[in-house]
Amino acid sequence: MIGAGRPGASLVTNTVEAVRLIRRTAPREYVLLLVCTIVSGLGLVLLLVAGRELIHDLTVSDRPDDIGPLVPSLVGIAVGTGLTTLASAVQAEVRWLMAHLVERQSVTAVVDAASAVSLAELESPDFQDHLQRTLRQAAQRPWDLVQAVSQLAGAAVGGVVGAVVLATVEPWLVPAALLVGLPVLLVAGRNSRAMFAAVSAITPVNREREYLQELLTGRDEAKEIRAFESVDHLRHRYEQRYDDEIEGFRVVSRLRSRRLFLAGIGSTLITVATLAVLVGLSVDGRLPLADAAIGAVAVQQLTMRVRGIGGSISSIQESSLFLDDHAAFVQRAARARVDDVPRDPARQPAPRGAAVALDDVSFTYPGATVPALRGVSLELRPGRVTALVGANGSGKTTIAKLICRLYEPDGGAVTWDAALAGSGELPRVGVIFQDFLRYQLSAHDNIALGDSRRHADRAGVEAGARAAGADTFLTRLTRGFDTWLSPSFEGGTDLSVGQWQRVAMARALFRDAPVVVLDEPTAALDPLAEREMIDGTTALFGDRAVLVISHRFANVVHADDIVVLSEGEIVERGTHETLMARGGTYAEMYTTQAAAFGTERHA
């Protein structure tokens, strides 16, 4: 990647790295672009040489009605024009394809990096700012980069041609004409840094605006936003954020424009001075008219190409700052990458008979000051259902996240049965979070994503659906399991919340993991379906270790072990009967909820 994360890299280094990046990403297109550039240069040579000969023939001919001597020059001009026109047409298409290829590589690198970082890093506001800025620029800057490199190549070839032709007329005018690009190069670095600083500063505002845009246009958000009549308020806020964003760019645009205006004046003065010298030489008779005319064309071509080189290098410099930022993001993500094997499980086996165990675990969320868990010890055993209950914020879901290895504990350890971890990899976990995903993909995909290694296992997908009770409605869809579960796609449909929950259950079953975590697994089911699923949990998951998190005490009365949490600590544990007999926190909470719902107490 350009600059390799070194923002201070020189213009030459950045330009060379830009060319290397494009050559690696699109080698065939790169060669074709070079061929087109050479062809365009040859066409320009023909145009200049043939034009010079045509002017010379016209000025010395004593028979203006005889066009015979002019034919070679006219043919040269026609061929030169054809070559440059053809090359330009092909170059435009090649640049378009190259930009897509470079964009794909850049965006894919960001996606790969972001999808592998730890959850703690992913939730960081600063990381989200960096991610959003990098994704946005990864899609935009490759176009700028390809355009700049392509124009640089064309300008360089044209500049060489112009310099050679001008040297045959008056050699000392070549260095004078080359100075045209100097003013642009002088402001290039400062303008590039100003734009990068503006984009970086405006990123949080841009993130908020894009989120508001999602709220205003999203299908899932539309119901609540329109029911609460919030559209006008959100629309006004959206416009305010857009105003803030545009004002930030307007400030830097004015600054950059002033610098470019001054640079343009300098370049124009140099061009005018060079042309004035040519005119003076011709008037004094020291330069033939034909040479003066073609020299003027060469000066115009050379100065235009030199300005193009300056502009291209300026664009490369600006793009390189963002691509440096891209490289910095990838490196940052690599440092925060999830360690698939955070510790050797074989050296830290769980207690005998436990699939997974938490031993004196403590954990505080990044940025928080109060621990979410303090000194929690817990064992999940195969064939047994362990239930976590407690008030909101007591730490239930945090335990689930630690078991799923989304976070690492600050203190204590999460250990696994050595037999399950014998392969050197920690065992897999099947999980249903209360905010489970509803993939806008086919029904098959929604279940098969539970185990991507078995994605093509149609029989396994259908078996998981049957076990979760999802087959009864999935098989009735227009295309069965191949139906897209989103009305936003052709032939797609939506499901009820309860049906989505059964699909999520099927996904967890399809994973066939030794440990299963169910975080409020029946929140969206009707009472009969809820009771059926809870009562059938043991049958569904067989000899797997199951952790159930629920606010509904009626759902956990049959659990083998019930663990009561309060403010991140375990305050009670036991079966329903023993906890009720104890008359502590669990008994009080259960009795209160039973009275509220008119259910029967299980004492």
Residues 214 and 266 both lie in one domain: yes
Residues 479 and 553 both lie in one domain: no
- Is there a domain that residue 154 lies in? yes
What one-character DSSP code corresponds to residue 337?
B
- Is there a domain that residue 34 lies in? no
Q: What tokens appear for 211 in the block?
A: 């989120």
Ramachandran bin of 518, using left for φ above 0, alpha for ψ from -120 to 50, beta for the remaining angles: beta
- Is there a domain that residue 67 lies in? no
Residues 411 and 455 both lie in one domain: no
CA distance 30 to 377: 60
Residues 154 and 297 both lie in one domain: yes
CA distance 551 to 597: 13
User: pLDDT tens-digit profile of 61-83?
Assistant: 666 565 666 777 778 888 888 88
CATH number of the CATH domain containing 378: 3.40.50.300
Q: Which backbone phi and psi does 346 adopt, to 5 degrees? A: -65, -25
CA distance 57 to 401: 85
Mean pLDDT, the chain, rounded, equals: 81
CA distance 595 to 398: 29
pLDDT at 24 over 60: yes
The average pLDDT across 124-146 equals: 83
- Is there a domain that residue 53 lies in? no
CATH number of the CATH domain containing 298: 1.20.1560.10
Which residue, of 461, 490, 511, is where some domain finishes?
511
Q: What tokens appear for 63 in the block?
A: 């028979």
The average pLDDT across 299-324 equals: 76
Q: Which backbone phi and psi does 543 adopt, to 5 degrees? A: -95, 20
What one-character DSSP code corresponds to residue 117?
B
The confidence band for 339, taking pLDDT boundaries of 50, 70 and 90, is low
Residues 110 and 204 both lie in one domain: yes
Which residue has better confidence, 472 or 267? Answer: 472
Residues 543 and 420 both lie in one domain: yes
Contact between 375 and 412 under an 8 Å Cβ cutoff? The reply is yes
Contact between 430 and 400 under an 8 Å Cβ cutoff? The reply is no
Contact between 103 and 137 under an 8 Å Cβ cutoff? The reply is no
- Is there a domain that residue 395 lies in? yes
Range of the domain at 294: 94-335
CA distance 357 to 379: 4
Which residue has better confidence, 358 or 163? Answer: 358
The radius of gyration computed from the CA coordinates of the chain, to the nearest angstrom, equals: 35
- Is there a domain that residue 129 lies in? yes
Tally of domains in the chain: 3
Choose among 256, 33, 48: nearest CA to 151. Answer: 33
Residues 415 and 557 both lie in one domain: yes
User: pLDDT tens-digit profile of 534-553?
Assistant: 666 667 777 889 999 988 88
Which residue, of 315, 335, 355, is where some domain finishes?
335
Write down the pLDDT at residue 534.
Answer: 66
CA distance 469 to 568: 35
- Is there a domain that residue 180 lies in? yes
Residues 495 and 394 both lie in one domain: no
Q: What tokens appear for 314 in the block?
A: 């300026």
Taking every pair of Cα atoms in the chain, the longest distance, rounded to a whole number of angstroms, is 125
CA distance 565 to 571: 6
CA distance 506 to 525: 15
Beta strands in 255-372 (DSSP E): 356-363
User: pLDDT tens-digit profile of 30-54?
Assistant: 888 888 888 887 887 787 778 777 7
- Is there a domain that residue 36 lies in? no
Q: Which helix (H) or strand (E) holds 574?
A: strand 569-574
Residues 521 and 504 both lie in one domain: no
User: pLDDT tens-digit profile of 166-184?
Assistant: 777 777 777 777 777 778 7
Residues 170 and 153 both lie in one domain: yes
Residues 497 and 593 both lie in one domain: no
Which residue, of 313, 335, 357, is where some domain finishes?
335
Residues 6+ apart with CB under 8 A from 545: 354, 355, 356, 380, 381, 382, 383, 384, 386, 514, 515, 516
pLDDT at 338 over 70: no
Residues 518 and 386 both lie in one domain: yes
